[in-house]
Homo-oligomer: A and B are copies of this chain.
């Protein structure tokens, strides 16, 4: 049952089932569902094609398994990212966004993969939305009270926390979504990591300034209108 590991594409102590899963995740993330061939997965895993069907029956089932694993890990990472306790609101927020970004830096194909999945399979989306809803609820609950306290003090502007997180996730995810176009266009020669880390700092600046209280209104200049009021 335990293989002798003569297969060079497998890690130490990894069995063929795990090798197929790893290869499938790589292929699906890189090429999407339709672009991935089960023959290519089998080849990448160093096993025969039939074995893939022996373990996972169909391409669809293998895909669902891979997808579920990916979402589970993302959930864990996101909830942990915002779990720091006892620190001031801005510190926790920035630290959470930094961790969220670094997670994406380790999984740069993830945003595109999730977006394509939700678009291409709306029939499966309902169950997944529920999972993301629960995850978002946890993050919101963990930050909401602190945010309101700060707003009451007047040290940050009053705004909807969901909108703020949406802004932050948009900026973070887009750095990876746009890299194949924008990375080489805006910073040719720079390596990917340095490029992304520069974007992270800009993203954090945007979020910080989004929360900056409006300046006191001394004159009629437009920047004095409290645009966050109804």
Contact = CB atoms under 8 A, between A and B. Distances in A.
Nearest to A118: B180
A179 B162 CA distance: 15
Contact of A163 (B120, B202, B210): B202
Interface in A103-150: 112, 114-116, 118-120, 122, 125, 128-129, 132-133, 136
A78 interface: no
B177 A115 contact: yes
Interface string A186-230: 100000000000010011011011101111000001110001100
B212 A181 contact: no
A155 B32 contact: no
A174 interface: yes
A215 B156 CA distance: 13
A166 interface: yes
A228 B180 CA distance: 27
**In the assembly, how many copies of this chain are there?**
2
Given A34-B34, A115-B177, A120-B35, A202 B167 contact: yes
Contacts of A178: 115, 166, 169-170
Given A35-B34, A171-B171, A174-B174, A119 B212 contact: no
Nearest to A162: B186
A173 interface: yes
6 contacts: A34-B34, A35-B120, A90-B222, A167-B203, A170-B171, A174-B174
Interface of A: 31-32, 34-35, 90, 112, 114-116, 118-120, 122, 125, 128-129, 132-133, 136, 155, 162-163, 166-167, 169-171, 173-175, 177-178, 180-182, 184-186, 199, 202-203, 205-206, 208-210, 212-215, 221-223, 227-228
